[in-house]
A and B are shown apart, each in its own frame.
Chain A
Amino acid sequence: MYSEKVMDHFNNPRNVGEIEDASGVGTVGNAKCGDIMRIYLDIDDNGIIKEAKFKTFGCGAAVATSSMATELVKGKTIQEALEITNKAVMEALDGLPPVKVHCSLLAEEAIHAALWDYAQKNNIEIEGLEPPVSDISEHEEEENY
């Protein structure tokens, strides 16, 4: 069902983890739907993304798209990172099954959310960047295990 590239990024995910004192962190998705992605970015003074890490709760495609998205943004400028679309992530993975396309959208959103967080922290405006829409507040209420 998945391409070899997807399987490779699922089995050997690149950039799993956290960045302490990250320049920007973005969390998107919703535990209710079964996918949450969190991307950490370390951005230097010249606006270059030095490091990207992720944590993901989700299916195989969600893990693979997070892994690929973090690979794609590393070394890019903020503007270049903004231009990475879900299509680019999918193409880099040699495609996704139709029901998994939303995972690539989530990856794109996660990058944008992390950049938004960076812009907020530094009080700057990034051209063409919209505030993130997804939030995961819903899962907080239901921790009565």
Chain B
Amino acid sequence: MSKLIYLDNAATTKVSEQVFEAMKPFFTEYYGNPSSVYSFADECGKAVDEARDQIAKTIGADKNEIYFTAGGSESDNWALKATAEAYSNKGKHIITSKIEHHAILHTCQYLEKQGFDVTYLDVQENGEISIDDLKAAIRPDTILISIMAANNEIGTIEPIKDIGAVARENGILFHTDAVQAFGHIPLDVDSMNIDMLSASAHKINGPKGIGFLYIRKGIRSGSFIHGGAQERRRRAGTHNVPGIVGLGKAAELAAVSMKERAEYEEKIRDHIISRILDEIPYVRLNGDAKKRLPNNVNVCFRFIEGESMLMLLDQNGVCASSGSACTSGSLDPSHVLLAIGLPHEIAHGSLRLTLSTDTTMENADFVVDKLKGIIERLRSMSPLYEDFVKKQGK
């Protein structure tokens, strides 16, 4: 196998050296429980506090509004379930979109079973929700709007500021799943009127199993995990100190490097996209050409299926992902690709490449070069392509 080219940074990222170094002392040296009384645990308590502050600064929040969780999915579950419960006397209507992560969609389905009413907004072809649709969906009993900051598959950045403004005007809470956006694009909870925000460390070169939920001061949201006084009595459980330190460091580093990193990644992203569109026939770009995450490439190749493509890329040392049914473990391709209007068979041929600052232009060219051969090979054995060519010949 040739050397590894990791282009699945939306799935997870490498822990950076600086983050790893920051975490290390909290495994074997400062292993105390921050909730303990003795001075040995002080160092741990201070570290947790500092991380909270580091994170809060990156989104314009107060440190007391940051609640540590075990990751993005927990944050999403918490934001929806506990808030819906706390505000159920005001109303039982929630608005979200069809392209949310399953941590949102499945939680909404759960809430529907509990008697809540959920509107799933359609998205436009580029993956953006329409503000007019949002306004039209608002009812007197709407208590919560939950729209992701950026989509994990097609990279589309949602009009968060406009959504926040609509929510505020109507006195509705606004939660955003920012798991893919946090540390990648600027987010400011005040100017964007964000009331709750979910994020995760492992998408920004931090460790797995740690994330946070921002909850604006004054919002009623019940305890999600019961059993202790941690996190202002809202989330019990001994603090994952090394994880929290890692998240704080990763958030700080991501904020500092954001602009430069985005410029670097965008250059490679746009190079890959334009080479694929120019050099491979019967292909389309999914998502928006401009309003997309700096590190996201998502394309569909017609007449071929995603898993085969991933297996052949893997043989060339390239890690990528696809929204095909085979990779989702069901018979349906990605709900996001279907929501932007793609027919099933085209959605099956999707490829997502998500870059990092480790990705070089040379890597990008290598992948596109390999991809050309892979697509040609799979099409040469595709009955759909055979039918298409015969039809063209007529």
A133 within 8 Å of B (CB atoms) = no
Question: In the complex, how many angstroms separate the beta carbon of B319 from the nearest chain A beta carbon?
Answer: 14
- B324-A57 in contact (CB<8A): no
Mark interface residues in A15-45 (1 if CB within 8 Å of B CB, else 0): 0101000000001000111111110000000
B62 to chain A, nearest CB (A): 46
In the complex, what residues of A have CB within 8 A of residue B386's CB? 18, 38, 55
Q: Are A32 and B344 in touch, CB under 8 angstroms?
A: yes
Q: Are A59 and B326 touching (Cβ within 8 A)?
A: yes
CA of A63 to CA of B282, assembled, Å: 22
Distance of B215 from chain A, by nearest CB (Å): 39
Interface size classification for chain B: 20 to 34
Contact of A60 with B by CB under 8 A:
yes
The CA-CA distance from A34 to B306 in the complex, in Å, is 9
A24 to B235, CA, bound (A): 65
The A interface is mostly helix, strand or loop, or mixed, namely mixed
Assess whether B329 is in contact with A57, with CB atoms less than 8 Å apart.
no
Q: Using Cβ atoms and an 8 Å threshold, which residues of chain B touch A60?
A: 307-308, 311, 326
> Given the interface contacts A31-B348, A34-B333, A145-B346, does A59 sit within 8 Å of B305 by beta carbon?
yes
Tell me, in angstroms, the Cα distance from A62 to B17 when the chains sit together. Answer: 42
Q: Are A55 and B325 in contact (CB under 8 A)?
A: no
Kindly provide the distance from the CB of B46 to the nearest chain A CB, expressed in whole angstroms: 45
Please give the distance in Å from B284's CB to the nearest CB on chain A.
7
**Is B304 part of the binding interface, using a Cβ–Cβ cutoff of 8 Å?**
yes
Residues of A within 8 A of B302 (CB): 145
Q: Are A36 and B325 in contact (CB under 8 A)?
A: no
A142 within 8 A of partner (CB): yes
- In the complex, B315 has a CB within 8 A of chain A: yes
Q: Which residue of chain A lies nearest to B303 when distances are taken between CB atoms in the complex?
A: A57
Residues of B within 8 A of A54 (CB): 381
Instruction: Find A59's partner among B284, B315, B324, B384 (CB 8 Å cutoff).
Output: B324
Interface size bucket, A side? Answer: 20 to 34
**Is A118 part of the binding interface, using a Cβ–Cβ cutoff of 8 Å?**
no
Give the most central of A16, A34, A63: most B CB within 10 Å.
Answer: A34
Q: How far is the CB of B173 from chain A (nearest CB, A)?
A: 38
Indicate if the CB atoms of A34 and B344 lie closer than 8 Å. Answer: yes
Chain B residues, Cβ within 8 Å of A13 = 381
Q: How close is A60's CB to chain B, nearest CB, in angstroms?
A: 5
Contact check, A57 vs B307: say whether CB atoms are below 8 A apart: no
Bound form: Cα–Cα A35–B325 in Å: 10
- B345 in the interface (beta carbon within 8 A): yes
Say if the beta carbon of A121 comes within 8 Å of chain B: no
Q: Given A11-B315, A63-B308, A145-B284, A36–B384 Cβ distance below 8 Å?
A: yes
Q: Can you sample 21 A-B contacts with CB below 8 Å? A: A10-B308, A16-B381, A31-B345, A33-B325, A33-B331, A33-B344, A34-B325, A34-B326, A36-B383, A38-B383, A55-B381, A55-B386, A57-B382, A57-B384, A59-B305, A59-B306, A59-B307, A59-B324, A60-B307, A60-B308, A145-B302
Give the top 9 A-B pairs by smallest Cβ distance, nearest first.
Answer: A31-B345, A59-B307, A59-B326, A142-B343, A32-B344, A38-B383, A55-B383, A34-B348, A34-B325
Known: A16-B381, A34-B324, A139-B384. 10 other contacts (CB 8 A): A31-B384, A36-B382, A56-B383, A60-B307, A60-B308, A60-B326, A62-B308, A63-B308, A142-B343, A145-B346
